[in-house]
Amino acid sequence: MSQYIIDSDFSITSIGSVLLVHLNEAIDDDSIKRLLDALALAIVQSASKGVIIDLSNMEVIDSYLASKLTTIASVASLLRAKAIISGLKTPTVITLLEFGIKISRVEFALDVDHALEKLM
Amino acid sequence: MGKIKDFDQDPFLDQVINAVPSGIFVIDTDNNILMVNKAAAEMVGKSPGECFDRKCWEVFKTPMCNTEECTCKRAIESNSTIRGLSVMYRDGKEIPIEYAARPLKNFEGNIIGCVEHFIDISERLEKERIIVKQQEELLKKREEDIRHLQEEILELSTPVIEVWDGVLALPLVGTLDSHRARLATERLLEAIERTRSPFVIIDITGVPTVDEEVANHILQTVDAARLMGSKAILTGISPHIARTMAQLGVDMRNIIVQGRMSDALHLALSEFVKQSSSQDTFKKIVD
């Protein structure tokens, strides 16, 4: 396991042919844009077939982050990598449903283990 | 008993009137007491002898006495019976009373005064108060019971069952309103988080009818499970509900539907087998 990119607000780790993305709880909109650029580059460079975005430390997902997660999934699939979001908590999901925030075209997993299983 | 002009005195009637337990007094048109019985005098702590030849409002004190509202005055003026509830002041205390007054006529039919009769109703009021209080308590208890039962039903109606390692079942029974749907979703998500189950079976065999709202609740529960990373399988759709959902145009494209719960369990287990084909144990179980 080797760290690929470490930023103040996120990290991208390479595990085999999979990239694992961790987000800081207080990630801002600019950092999300930087993450998008860095991740696209990393997928191409490492020829990864999957991206796992671990959100287990996120309390709230706003509509901006939700739409960017969809964008990440689209970008990843164009680069022949499958994006999986893992680790959403019950309160987070309830809030998403209550505010009608949709995260479409992305697969979800219970945790990182489950996501890796799905990618293997 | 005092003397009443124009009438003969009858000792027998005197005895009867004094024996009546409620208060009776008679006044002339100028409010002078002509007669008062024992019970009436006792009510104000006096003997009948102390009450004669005095104004009635000096002896009996109520909020209406010596005003335009005077019961006898109203009875005389309207030539009719006047009834009502009031209080009588005695030693600084208020005694609740019920009264009735009627004009007194001589043999020619002219009104010469008024007869008023009153009883102490404090005991009756106290009893009524107790009854009202008991009724309120009973009502409160019943409401509490009903609330308790409703909570119980809510609790009972949304169980999340672990039917297999990694497979949860949510059998929905009865009508799904927003509150129940929300509760069921929350329970399901908590169970997914706790058990890390990749599969949930949502069974609606026990849901009698489906309208647009209920259909949306079901779809939302399925979506919630998806966001958690768990795959939802919908089972137990009756022909009637299938028709309604088709007519409503509910989008079921992203939903896995199976006939019975056992079919869904088969599907989940075969997925497990696919994922861990090296483990022969699962194969044995499914076969």
Interchain proximity A117–B275, CB inside 8 Å: yes
Position A61 scores a pLDDT of 86
d(CA B209, nearest CA chain A) in Å: 24
CATH 3.40.50.620 is right for the domain spanning B156-286: no
pLDDT-based confidence at residue B12 (cuts at 50, 70, 90): confident
Residue B91's alpha-carbon distances to B46, B88, B226, in angstroms, are: 12, 10, 80
pLDDT-based confidence at residue B67 (cuts at 50, 70, 90): confident
Interchain proximity A110–B230, CB inside 8 Å: yes
**Residue ranges in A1-120 assigned as alpha helix (H):** 29-46, 63-78, 90-98, 112-119
The span from the CA of A22 to the CA of B133, in Å, is: 64
Identify the DSSP state of B32. Answer: B
Is residue B71 within 8 A of residue B98, CB to CB? The reply is no
User: Percent of chain A beyond pLDDT 70?
Assistant: 98
- Does B29 have pLDDT greater than 70? yes
Instruction: Report the DSSP beta bridge partners of residue B24.
Output: B117
Tens digits of residue pLDDT in B72-123: 888 888 888 888 888 888 888 888 899 999 998 888 888 888 999 889 888 8
Interchain proximity B227–A94, CB inside 8 Å: no
Tens digits of residue pLDDT in B135-169: 999 999 999 999 998 887 776 667 899 999 999 99
CATH architecture for segment(s) B11-120: 2-Layer Sandwich (3.30)
Interchain proximity A115–B229, CB inside 8 Å: yes
Tens digits of residue pLDDT in B223-264: 899 999 999 999 999 998 888 888 888 877 778 999 988 999
Position A6 scores a pLDDT of 78
Judged by DSSP in three states, B251 sits in coil
**Terminal-residue alpha carbon distance, chain A:** 16
Position B284 scores a pLDDT of 56
The span from the CA of B15 to the CA of B108, in Å, is: 27
List the single residue in A108, A111, A115 with the smallest CB-CB distance to B227: A108
Average pLDDT of the segment spanning A42-68: 88
Q: Strand pairing of B167-173 and B161-164?
A: antiparallel
Number of residues in chain A:
120
Say how many CB pairs under 8 Å bridge A and B.
Answer: 48
- Does B42 have pLDDT greater than 70? yes
Could you tell me which chain A residue has the CA closest to the CA of B220? A97
Domains (ranges, CATH) in chain A?
Answer: 2-119 (3.30.750.24)
Best residue of A84, A85, A110 to probe chain B, by most B CBs closer than 10 Å: A110
Domain segments of chain B: what residues?
A: 11-120, 156-286
Q: Report the complex ipTM.
A: 0.83
The span from the CA of B243 to the CA of B210, in Å, is: 10
Chain B residues with beta carbon closer than 8 angstroms to that of A88: 227-229
List the single residue in B197, B227, B275 with the smallest CB-CB distance to A88: B227
For chain B, list the strands marked E by DSSP.
Answer: 23-28, 33-36, 82-90, 93-105, 111-120, 161-164, 167-173, 199-206, 231-235, 256-257
State whether residue A88 sits within 8 Å of chain B by CB.
yes
